[in-house]
Amino acid sequence: MCSISTFVSTGLITPWNFPIAMITRKVGPALAAGCTCVLKPSELTPLTAIALETLAKRAGVPEGVFELVTADRELTREVGDEMCVNSIIKKISFTGSTPVGKLLMKQSSDTVKRLSLELGGNASFIVFDDADLDIAVNAAMSSKFRNAGQTCVCSDRFLVHHSVEKEFVARLAEKVGQIKIGHGLEEGVTMGPVISNVPVKNLSKKVETAISDGAICVVGGSPLEDLGPNFFEPTILTNVDTNSLIWCTETFGPVVAVTTFDTEDEAVAMANDSSVGLASYICTRDMSRIFRVSSALECGMVGVNEGIISSASAPFGGVKESGLGREGSALGIKEYLNTKYVFLNC
């Protein structure tokens, strides 16, 4: 017969971009499986984690079942190291960058921990010649500019069939022009800042490099210094070189990088030409193409004519260097369970 057991003690490490959802997505299934949790939230968003810990205690979660460790940037590495090498921790779940995920894998090897890793992406967004362009533009807007482009499943690489590129870009530019940028608590604001001035510098460098490589800046392209040090213009670049820095690396900001393709096979090959594989998006009316391309794309999730694909009822995760395991759905709790086989001779 088979029985199910838990890991008992788990270490959870979460990022800053969705500070409530990232915690509940891990803590929820861990507690449901019967595990205790030690959570290390991002040093940039500790207050949300402290509030959740307080609410958990008020709700009756026993002392010691959900523990919190906060740290500044200097001590963050030390906390992660301890989770990896401490034999009490049997499983680690981490959401963050691919380089840090690789480091956690190496450091956890001596204790052979079970790992769940939701790492970086560089999502492709393919617009075929038969796409409904209104639907495609709306999907692009929600996928690219949600949270100022700071999600791991944001579309970064836009592959548009050459026959519809001009129309798609024109409609997208019109929509981008309607974005109101400012403080998130101000009335009418639809896009706020990025997390700090560091990504603003990175975005500026990527845009400048792309333009020097031959890209054309259709909209935006610069920091919005009058609003503060953490704001960057929603930007559209066309004619982007597929060897450019902005194409080859995750952007994590409000910049659309567009190039064109001629055939379906070419689009799939370009989309798969990446070391990561978290999410991809396709826009088409052809149902046969939907199944054909979805199957061919090397990623963990595919959005079809839609830009927001996350759901608590669906498995979330990637392939290649985008990580291991899944969160959400019925599969999410399995990351916190062990299967034990018992042979009976009675």
**Do 333 and 32 touch, CB atoms closer than 8 A?**
yes
37 is catalytic: no
CB atoms within 10 A of CB 58: 8
The terminus-to-terminus CA distance of the chain in angstroms comes to 13
Cα Rg of the chain, angstroms: 21
Token pair in block for residue 154: 């944001």
Single-letter residue type at 135: I
- Exposed/middle/buried for 15, CB within 10 Å: 0-12, 13-18, 19+? buried
Token pair in block for residue 219: 């909209």
**Catalytic pick from 35, 37, 84, 118?**
118
**Catalytic pick from 37, 152, 283, 299?**
152
The neighbouring-strand residues paired with 216 are: 238
CA dihedral 176, 180, 181, 185 (to 10 degrees): -140
Q: Which of 62, 69, 53, 60 is nearest to 20 (CA)?
A: 53
118 is catalytic: yes
Single-letter residue type at 9: S
**Do 123 and 324 touch, CB atoms closer than 8 A?**
no
Give catalytic residue positions: 118, 152
